[in-house]
Structure 1
């Protein structure tokens, strides 16, 4: 009969490795959340966008933790390789079919850290298909919500295209929070 003491002695290194990996995961997650919140506060970024980026970062750290635990517990790489290659084959087909969603989410994360314009700014996207000026109503994970002041039309513009096109700032903070809430 296997006792609990026998399991602790047999798997002592693995248990300590798991404990250390979990502590590192918790520390890195705490540090990354604090950093993203600080960047969001300094850059005056919407809290919903900040929470979304925190969720993405936490998911990435969890994947790293899962890989570390697989390595710590010494899972047979041939068996894991078959499972991972099968999963990547399915994911590859799914992501190829939905490449625009993935590129928009990635662009949303990039916009969180590097987009110089804020909600309420009037901009012009240098695009022959979209020559109008509009005010940024919201910046979401997949797209920008814009409103044309002259007609009141509500427009969505994909995040991946906003990174590919030139954006011209016409006027900073045209709309107040109350003005923006009226259009929602």
Structure 2
């Protein structure tokens, strides 16, 4: 019969390493999420967008934690390698088929940190297919929701295209949250 003392003495280094990894994960996650939240407040970014970026950051840190725990516990790399390569093969096919989703999510994160325009601003996207002006109603993970002022049409514009096209600020904060909510 195996008792707790035997397990602790046998795996003392692995348990200590796991404890340190979990502690570092908690500290880094706390500081990173606090920084993202502060950037969201300073930049006056919608809370939903801030929470979405916080989920992405938490997921990325969790993946790093899992890799660290695998390395600490010395899992057989041949077995893990086979599992990871199989997962990457399936994931690669899925992402290749849906590359636009991944590029839009990545663009959404970039827009969170670097996009100079806010919800309620009137903009014009320099695109031959979309020459009209519109008001930014929402910036989501995959797309930006725009409202044409003249017709009231609700448009979705992919985030990756926003980064590829020139965007001109026509007027800041022409619409309040209450004005935008009546379109939804």
- Residue 161 of structure 1 and its aligned partner are, at CA, apart by 0.3
The 2-side partners of 1:176 and 1:83 are apart by: 50
The 2-side partners of 1:142 and 1:22 are apart by: 32
- Residue 181 of structure 1 and its aligned partner are, at CA, apart by 1.4
Q: What is the aligned partner in structure 1 of residue 93 from structure 2?
A: 93
Unaligned runs of 5+ in 1: none
TM-score, normalising length from structure 2?
0.99
The 2-side partners of 1:183 and 1:146 are apart by: 10
Counterparts of 1:31-46 in structure 2, within 5 Å, are 31-46=31-46
1:74 equivalenced with 2:95 (yes/no)? no
Q: What is the aligned partner in structure 2 of residue 105 from structure 1?
A: 105
Counterparts of 1:11-90 in structure 2, within 5 Å, are 11-90=11-90
Q: What is the aligned partner in structure 2 of residue 181 from structure 1?
A: 181
- Residue 176 of structure 1 and its aligned partner are, at CA, apart by 1.4
Query: Deviations for 1:89-133, whole angstroms, at most 9, x for unmatched residues?
Result: 000000001100110000000000000000000000000000000
What secondary structure is seen at the aligned counterpart in 2 of 1:167?
A: strand
The 2-side partners of 1:4 and 1:177 are apart by: 58
- Residue 142 of structure 1 and its aligned partner are, at CA, apart by 0.4
- Residue 140 of structure 1 and its aligned partner are, at CA, apart by 0.4
The 2-side partners of 1:64 and 1:137 are apart by: 35
The 2-side partners of 1:36 and 1:135 are apart by: 25
TM-score, normalising length from structure 1?
0.99
Aligned length: 184
What secondary structure is seen at the aligned counterpart in 2 of 1:183?
A: coil
Return structure 1 stretches of 4+ with deviation > 3 angstroms.
Answer: none
The 1-side partners of 2:149 and 2:82 are apart by: 55
What secondary structure is seen at the aligned counterpart in 2 of 1:54?
A: helix
The 2-side partners of 1:72 and 1:108 are apart by: 34
The 1-side partners of 2:155 and 2:98 are apart by: 22
